[in-house]
A and B are shown apart, each in its own frame.
Chain A
C-alpha cells in the first residue's frame, strides 16, 4: 500500500506539472529504516559502553566535482566513513547521492515522497514544512543529552540567534548548518591597470565609475572588447558570490530583499526603498555607456568570469573567496599575470557603506521521525566540531579531514563528512594579515587560521605559486584585512527578520521576486525608464507586499 501510494503520487506530480525534472529517480527499494536496526533497537542510550556497539545512520550526500576520491574509494566505502565508525561507532550510509546541482531538487522529491533518510540537510522553508507535517523529530532532548559542552558552546557563539531560527514553539527541530554571518563583500580591481592608466585607488562610488569608464575607453587589457564591470545573470542572488551587484546596491545604501527598520521602528522591505532607484539609475547610465556586458542577462558566473580571465574586465564585486575564482586568469604558466587589489565597498556619499549580511544559516540538518539512532547524528556533530577545530589533529582526525594519506593534497575529503557546521564568529581579519605580514605563526588561534597561514606562506616563499589567492584573501592587504574596521564601526546591516516564511510569503514571495528581477533588469538594460521603479513599488505593495509587511511586523513585535 505504501509503495502504491508513493508511485501514484510521484506519477501524479510528474503528470500534472508536466516536468520530467526528476532525472534518475532510482530510489532504492528500502524498508525506510536502517537495516541493522532490528538487532540494535535496544541501544538507545549513549553511555560510554554503548559506543562499542556500532550504530548505523543513513543520510543523503552531495557529490562535488572538487571531491577527488582516492583509488578504490567511493561514497559507499571510504576512509572518512571508516574513521567515523572507528572513533565514535557510527556507521554512515547514503540513501542516495546527487551532484551539487541536483541535490536541492532531489531533496524536494525525497520530501514529497515521504522517504527521508535518518538525517538530511534542508533549507529554512523545508524545515518549517517538515515541522508542520510532523515528519521530523523534536531534537530538544536528544541534543541536550548527547551534545558535548563544546558543541553547545560552539553553536551558540552568536548569542543563540541561529539556534533560535531552528526552534519552533520551544522545540529544537534542526541543527543549523551554521557559518559566520559576518561574510562581507568587497571590491576587486586590477591594480596593474590602475598603475598603467595612472588612476587613484577607489575610495568613493564616483571613483568606481571613473575607473570603470577608463577601463572601457582606454582598454588596458588590449582585447578590443573591454567592459567596465563584470555582472552575471543572477546579480541579486546571495548565491552569486562573484559578479553580483548586491555590493553595488549597498554602496548606494540600498539592499537586496532585506528587512530593515524605518524611522518609526517598523520593518520595511529594502527592495522598494528609493535608494534602490538611485542605484538602478547609476547602473542604467553605466549600461548606456557600454560599461556592462550587454549579454549579462544570459551569462552565468563562470561564463562572465571569462571576461575577467581574458583581460576584458578589471572590476568586480565579490565575497572574500573571490580570489579563488580570479586565480584561473591571474596565474598562467607559473606566473602571476594579473594583479588584483581588494577594497572595501565604497560609498556614494559621506556616510559609510553598510554591508548587507544574513543570520549565518540557510540550511539545517533534520532528523527523520523514523530514525532509530538520533544520538548517532549528534555524535557526528560532536566529532566534526572537534576535528574541524583542533590545532593538532590526531591520526584519525587527519583521516577524517584528508583521507587515508592523512595529509592535505587538494582532494577536498572534508566534503565527505556528512554533517558539517562552521564557526559563527572568527577573528581571521585581526590575526591572519598580521601573522602573514610578520611571518609569525605563533599568534594563530584556530585550525582554519593555521591552514590559511600555511597556504599563504607557500605563495610568499615561492614554493607554490597557485596559492596566490590565499594571500589575496588573508594577507596584509587581503580581503579579510578590511574586516576589523567594518566590525568595529558596525558597517554592516543584518536582516531583522529571521523567522520562517510567513503564510503570504510562502504564497507570494516568488511572484514578487520575479516581478522585481524583471523590472530591475529592464531598467539596467535601458529598456524602460528608471521611473518604472515607482510603478513597481505600487505593484509590489498590491501583490501581497503589504500583507507580508504586516505579517513580518507582527512577528517582529514578538521577537524584538
Chain B
C-alpha cells in the first residue's frame, strides 16, 4: 500500500498526460460506434439515432438482393489483394536494393523522387493518367507503338482495368512504403553481415539469410495491418477513373455504397454495408494476427 501510494505520487502527471489521448479515442472511435444502429434503421436525419424507425435486416437484404453483389465483392477482394501483395513486395525489394547503394546522394535523390507521388491526390492524378494512358494521344501507347503493339484502351477495357489500378497505386505509394523498410534495415546488426561474409556468403546469400530474416518482424507487422484493408480497394482512385464500360471489373463495394448511400441519401443502407465491411476486416485481422504469432512468433500486443 505504501509502495503504491509512493508510485502514484511520482507517476500521476504521466497519467494526466494520458487523459487527452484517451478522451480522443473515446470521442472519435468508441462513441461513434453507437452509430452502428443506423444499419438497422430507416435513418431520418432530424429524428436522429434515437427517433428513426427500426426496420430490422432490410438494409442487408437490399444488399444481398443487388444482382451484382457477387461481382462487386470479387472485384473488391481481387483488386485489394493484388494491391496488398504488390504493396509489400515492391517496397521491400526497392528498400533492399537502395540499401546496397554506396553513394548516399543517389540513394537520397531516388528516395525523394519516388516518395513524391504519395502527396498527390487521385483527383489530380486521374487527370494525368487519363492523358498518359489515352489510346490516341497517350505517351504509353505511343511508346508501345514503336514496338508494333496496337494501342490499348487501358481505362476502357475490362481486361486491363484492375491491373492499371494496382500498378498505378503501387507507383503512387511504394516510395512511402520503402521508408518503413529502410528504417528496419538500419536496425540489423552489421556484425551479422561480417560473420556471414567470413563464412563465405555473397551479396545474394547475405540478402536471403541475414537481411530478410532481420526484416521479418516489420514485414509481418505491415502485412497484418494491411490485411485489414482487404475490402478497401481504393475508393478515390477507382471513382475517379472508372466509367460505365468497365463497371464489370471496376465496381467495388465503396463505389457502390457511394452511389447508393450518399447520392441516394440511404444512410442506413450505407451503414449496413460499412458494418459488414468492418466485420469482415476484423475477422481477417484476427486471423492474420494469430497466424503471425504462430508462424513468426510475432505479437503486436
Residues of A within 8 A of B (CB): 5, 7-9, 11-13, 15-19, 21, 105, 108, 111-114, 125-126, 129, 132-135, 225, 233, 293-295, 297-299, 506-507, 509-511, 514-515, 517-518, 520-522, 525, 527, 539, 543
B263 touches A510 (CB 8 A): yes
Contact string against A for B residues 123-160, beta-carbon threshold 8 Å, 1 for contact and 0 otherwise = 00000001000111000000000000000010110000
Residue of A nearest to B47 (CB): A133
From A9, A233, A506, A514, contact of B259 by CB (8 A): A514
* Chain A, residue nearest B34 (CB): A8
CB pair B235–A18 under 8 Å, yes or no, is yes
Given contacts A17-B258, A18-B232, A19-B258, contact A126 B265 (CB under 8 A): yes
CB distance from B259 to the nearest CB of A (A): 5
Q: Which of A19, A129, A293, A521 has the most CB of B within 10 A?
A: A19
Q: Please, what's the 1-or-0 string for B40-57, where 1 marks a CB less than 8 Å from any CB in chain A?
A: 000011111100000000
* In the complex, chain A residues whose CB is within 8 Å of the CB of B38: 12, 16
Are A17 and B259 within 8 A (Cβ)? no
- Contact check, A294 vs B156: say whether CB atoms are below 8 A apart: yes
Q: Is B280 at the interface (CB under 8 A from chain A)?
A: no
- Shortest distance in angstroms between B281's beta carbon and chain A's nearest beta carbon? 10
B265:A16 contact, CB within 8 angstroms: no
Q: Which residues from chain A contact B27 at a C-beta distance below 8 Å?
A: 7
Does the CB pair A21–B46 fall under 8 Å? Answer: no
| Docked-complex contact B32 and A12, CB < 8 angstroms | yes
Tell me if B258 and A527 are in contact (CB < 8 A): no
B259 touches A510 (CB 8 A): yes
Smallest beta-carbon distance B155→chain A, Å: 5
Known: A16-B274, A16-B275, A297-B244. A133 touches B46 (CB 8 A): yes
| Nearest-Cβ distance from residue A292 to partner chain B, whole angstroms | 12
A-B contact pairs, 14 of them (CB 8 A): A8-B31, A8-B35, A11-B32, A13-B270, A13-B271, A17-B271, A19-B262, A294-B135, A295-B134, A297-B244, A511-B260, A518-B245, A520-B244, A539-B67
Tell whether, in the assembled complex, residue B271 and residue A16 are in contact, meaning their CB atoms are under 8 Å apart: yes
Interface flag for B62 (CB, 8 Å) = yes
Min Cβ gap A319→B in Å is 22
CA A233 to CA B242, docked complex, whole Å:
11
Whether A17 and B155, one on each chain, are in contact in the complex, defined by CB atoms closer than 8 angstroms, is no
Number of interface residues of B (CB under 8 A): 53
Q: How far is the CA of A8 from the CA of B49 in the complex (A)?
A: 10
Q: What are the residues of chain B within 8 A of A293 when measuring CB–CB?
A: 136
Which B residues lie at the A interface, using CB under 8 A? 27-28, 31-36, 38-39, 44-49, 62, 66-67, 130, 134-136, 153, 155-156, 232, 235, 241, 243-245, 247-248, 254, 257-267, 270-271, 273-275, 277-278
**Option from B156, B235, B275 in Cβ contact (under 8 Å) with A295:** B156
Inter-chain CA distance A472–B82, complex, in Å, is: 53
The interface residues of chain A, by DSSP majority, are classed as helix
* Cross-chain contact A298 with B156 (CB below 8 angstroms): yes
**Which residues in A have their C-beta under 8 angstroms from that of B262?**
17, 19, 21, 105, 108
Residues of chain B lying within 8 A (CB to CB) of residue A12: 32-36, 38, 271
CA distance A298 to B28 in the complex (A): 38
Tell me which residues across on chain A come within 8 A of B44, comparing CB atoms.
129, 132-133
Q: A133 to chain B: which residues have CB within 8 Å?
A: 44-47
Task: Collect the chain A residues with CB atoms within 8 Å of residue B46's CB.
Answer: 114, 133-135
Contacts A8-B32, A511-B66, A514-B247 known; A114 to B45 CB distance under 8 Å?
Answer: yes
Given known pairs A113-B45, A521-B243, the reply for A295 and B135 (CB within 8 Å) is: yes
CB pair B47–A518 under 8 Å, yes or no, is no
Query: Are B49 and A9 in contact (CB-based, < 8 A)?
Result: yes
- Given A16-B38, A17-B274, A133-B46, the answer on whether A518 and B258 have CB atoms closer than 8 Å is no
What 15 additional pairs, Cβ within 8 angstroms, besides A18-B274, A511-B66? A9-B35, A9-B49, A11-B28, A11-B31, A16-B278, A17-B257, A19-B258, A19-B262, A114-B45, A133-B44, A133-B46, A294-B135, A510-B260, A522-B244, A539-B67
Query: Are B62 and A507 in contact, with the CB atoms below 8 A?
Result: yes
**Which chain B residues lie closer than 8 Å to A129 at the CB level?**
44, 265
- A524 CB to closest chain B CB (Å) equals 9
B264 touches A517 (CB 8 A): no
Q: Give the top 8 A-B pairs by smallest Cβ distance, nearest first.
A: A12-B35, A16-B274, A521-B244, A517-B244, A11-B32, A297-B243, A114-B46, A16-B271
How distant is the Cα of A261 from the Cα of B135 in the complex, in angstroms?
Answer: 43
Alpha-carbon distance between A138 and B245 when the two chains are bound, in angstroms: 44
Given the known inter-chain contacts A18-B254, A108-B262, A518-B247, please indicate yes or no for A9 contacting B156, CB distance below 8 A. Answer: no
A132 to B47, CA, bound (A): 11
Q: How far is the CA of A509 from the CA of B266 in the complex (A)?
A: 12
A506 touches B45 (CB 8 A): no
- Please, which residue of chain A has its CB at the minimum distance from the CB of B243? A297
Residues of B within 8 A of A527 (CB): 245
